[in-house]
Amino acid sequence: MKMFCYQCQETAKGTGCTVAGVCGKPADVANLQDLLIYTVKGLSIYSSAKRQTTKVEVEVNRFLLESLFTTITNANFDKTAIIKKIHEGVELRDKLKVELLSNDITPKFYNHDAANWLAESDEKLEEKAENIGVLTTQNEDVRSLRELIIYGVKGMAAYAEHAQNLGQENIDIYSFIEKALLATLDDSLTTDELVALCMETGKHGVDVMALLDQANTGRYGHPEITKVNIGVRNNPGILISGHDLRDLEDLLEQTKNTGVDVYTHSEMLPAHYYPFFKKYTNFAGNYGNAWWKQTTEFETFNGPILFTTNCLVPPLKNATYIDRIYTTGSAGLAGAVHIADRKGDTQKDFSSIIAQAKKCAPPIQIETGEIVGGFAHNQVMALAEPVIEAVKSGAIRQFVVMAGCDGRMKNRNYYTDFAQNLPKDAVILTAGCAKYRYNKLPLGDINGIPRVLDAGQCNDSYSLAVIALKLKEAFGLDDINKLPITYNIAWYEQKAVIVLLALLHLGVKNIHLGPTLPAFLSPNVAKVLVDAFGISGIGTAESDIKTFFEPATK
Asked whether residue 351 falls in the same domain as residue 379, the answer is no
Q: What are phi and psi of 303, to 5 degrees?
A: -95, 180
Task: Decide if 153 is inside a domain.
Answer: no
Residues 424 and 329 in one domain: no
Residue 71 lies in a domain: yes
- What is the Cα–Cα distance from 95 to 100, expressed in whole angstroms? 9
SS (H, E, C) 441-467: CCCCEECCEECEEECCCHHHHHHHHHH
The C-alpha atoms of residue 270 and residue 371 are separated, in whole angstroms, by 10
**Nearest C-alpha neighbor of 268 from the set 413, 105, 457, 118:** 457
Read off the pLDDT of residues 151-186 as tens digits, 9 standing for 90 and up. 999 999 999 999 999 999 999 999 999 999 999 999
Torsion angle defined by CA atoms of residues 61, 66, 72 and 76, in that order, rounded to the nearest 10 degrees: -170
Domain boundary residue, one of 96, 117, 136: 136
CATH classification at residue 41: 1.20.1270.20
Same domain membership, residue 433 and residue 326: no
- In terms of residue numbers, what domain contains 16? 1-136
458, 401 in Cβ contact below 8 A?
A: no
Q: What is the pLDDT of residues 353-363, one digit of tens each?
A: 999 999 999 99
For residue 207, tell me if it sits in a domain.
no
Q: Is the pLDDT of residue 231 over 60?
A: yes
Task: Specify if 216 maps to a domain.
Answer: no
**Which of 358, 380, 395 delimits the end of a domain?**
358
In angstroms, the CA 535 to CA 525 distance is 11
Which of 136, 155, 174 finishes a domain?
136
Angle at 34 (CA atoms; ends 30, 40), nearest 5 degrees: 140
pLDDT of residue 551: 58
Q: Which CATH number belongs to the domain containing residue 382 in this structure?
A: 3.40.50.2030
Same domain, 488 and 424: yes
**Are the C-beta atoms of residues 358 and 261 closer than 8 Å to each other?**
no
Mean pLDDT of all residues in 276-287: 98
Claim to verify: residue 530 and residue 392 sit in the same structural domain: yes
Determine the average pLDDT of the residues in 216-223. 98
Look over the chain and give the mean of its residue pLDDT values, rounded to a whole number.
97
pLDDT value, residue 477: 96
400 and 506 within one domain: yes
Looking at the fold, whether 4 and 131 belong to one and the same domain comes out as: yes
Q: How far apart are CA 9 and CA 12, in angstroms?
A: 9
* Rounded Cα–Cα distance for residues 201 and 178 (Å): 12
- What average pLDDT score do residues 475-486 get? 95
Is 467 inside any structural domain?
Answer: yes
Cα gap 380→361, rounded to integer Å: 40
pLDDT given at position 553: 44
The total of structural domains in the chain comes to 3
257: pLDDT strictly greater than 70: yes
Query: Coil, strand, or helix at residue 189?
Result: coil
Residues 416 and 352 in one domain: no
269 and 120 share one domain: no
Residue 554 pLDDT > 60, yes or no?
Answer: no
Q: What percent of the chain has a predicted confidence (pLDDT) above 70?
A: 99
* 335 assigned to some structural domain: yes
Query: Given a cut of 80, is residue 552 above it in pLDDT?
Result: no
> In this structure, are 386 and 493 located in the same domain?
yes
Q: Which has the closest alpha carbon to 238: 355, 84, 103, 328?
A: 355
Quick one: CA dihedral 481, 485, 490, 491, positive or negative? negative
- Evaluate if residue 351 carries a pLDDT over 70: yes
Judge residue 470's burial from the number of C-beta atoms within 10 Å of its C-beta, 0-12 exposed, 13-18 middle, 19 or more buried: middle
What pLDDT score does 550 carry? Answer: 75
Residue 548 domain flag: yes
Structural domain contains residue 336? yes
Are residues 387 and 342 located together in one domain of the fold?
A: no
Is pLDDT of 541 > 90?
Answer: yes
Confidence of residue 11 (pLDDT cuts 50, 70, 90): very high
Q: Are residues 387 and 307 in the same domain?
A: no
